[in-house]
Structure 1
């Protein structure tokens, strides 16, 4: 995780150079000391390295371009023109307010105009946006916008159902509350029957 792509920098609002790994590890030591423990004790001596390595994985979406993931489409679909839908795509993100985990699933559908995209690429787009510091509302819209921009489909539907650990382990401490966000574009927005069909398929998933 040594470089930030221009696309990632634009989305994240990054204007300054990225700190080094050593600087990141020192920041972790500072937080450990602030919490009241000794970053030099045996059990914590390697924690800064582990934390930075974990952040490299948790926030790998900053280095990935969703447009590149959606770059290849297929037009030879034998006239298929119905909904394409993926259900229960794992969402592992972190809220941008407390950096606490957001865990849940995404359901994504689109109505092809001329071409389809490999189904794994849709899951990859969800992963790219989830591996960033996020709000669920923003992430939901970003997924729909990326599919719309890359494929120009007749419509896109996205529903994310997730639990926020910033609400579970701190603050109000309500562990059983799910947050559901949706974005509908094109025919999913204008055709109530199509939207209802999407929702029914989500409920059966």
Structure 2
């Protein structure tokens, strides 16, 4: 028999020395379980459903960029949030992806237990798989509560990760254009 997620939160409260029967905590196990399921709903999604056929013929072969995509994820090491933004770009080869799909791809992978390095790679690979672009670039900058609330307690640190595929990896000029357009290059 599998125990329910709320039961496990109840046990965590007990393990912390709390009384799960006190007024303020009576519904906390249910609320916490519901919140965790929402925060991790990316496991219930897949790329095909997210894209939903939103690829459109286009003669454009110039860089497409969507920047400042908010993201919220949970560190797989501590189950604490990391919060930031993603900047994504691709160079189309005959087809463009519906704009909102880029943000949905970011969300699908962010709403799983993650480390930022893997999240960046997963987003880039997914966009490459869907678009067959000649290049894909993803930069993520995020603040990690596991660094801010515990451990070294560094409040102003931001982690930056990037993945460059195809033309963004092969051409310094293309990479620099992307970084300048998202404001990350001097």
Normalising by the smaller structure, the TM-score range is over 0.9
Contact 1:71/1:150 (8 A) holds in 2: no
CA contact (8 A) 2:60 2:93 kept: no
2:131 is matched with which residue: 141, 147, 151? 151
Please tell me whether the aligned partners of residues 67 and 146 of structure 1 are also in contact (alpha carbons under 8 angstroms). Answer: no
| TM-score, length of structure 1 as denominator length | 0.86
Q: Distance in 2 between matches of 1:175 and 1:34?
A: 28
After the TM superposition, which of the residue ranges 62-71 and 35-44 deviates more from structure 2? Answer: 62-71
Q: Matched residue of 2:22: which SS?
A: coil
For 1:193 and 1:149, locate their aligned partners in 2 and report how far apart those are by CA, in whole Å: 24
Per the alignment, residue 128 of structure 1 pairs with 108
2: CA distance, partners of 1:135 / 1:67: 23
Other-structure match for 1:50: 31
Partner of 1:74: 56
Q: Partners of 2:132 and 2:67 in 1: how far apart?
A: 21
Cα RMSD (Å): 1.3
Aligned equivalent of 1:170: 150
Unpaired stretches in structure 2, ≥5 consecutive residues: none
Deviation of residue 132 (structure 1)? 0.4
Residues 51-84 of structure 1 deviation map (CA, whole Å, 9 limit, x = unaligned): 0110121001000002332242100x3x211001
1:110 corresponding residue in structure 2? 90
Q: Is the 8 A contact 2:92 2:134 kept in 1?
A: yes
- Aligned to 1:161, the other structure's residue is in SS state strand
User: Which aligned runs of 4 or more in structure 1 are off by greater than 6 angstroms?
Assistant: none
The count of corresponding residues between Structure 1 and Structure 2 is: 183
Report the equivalent of 1:65.
46
Give the TM-score normalised by structure 2. Answer: 0.95
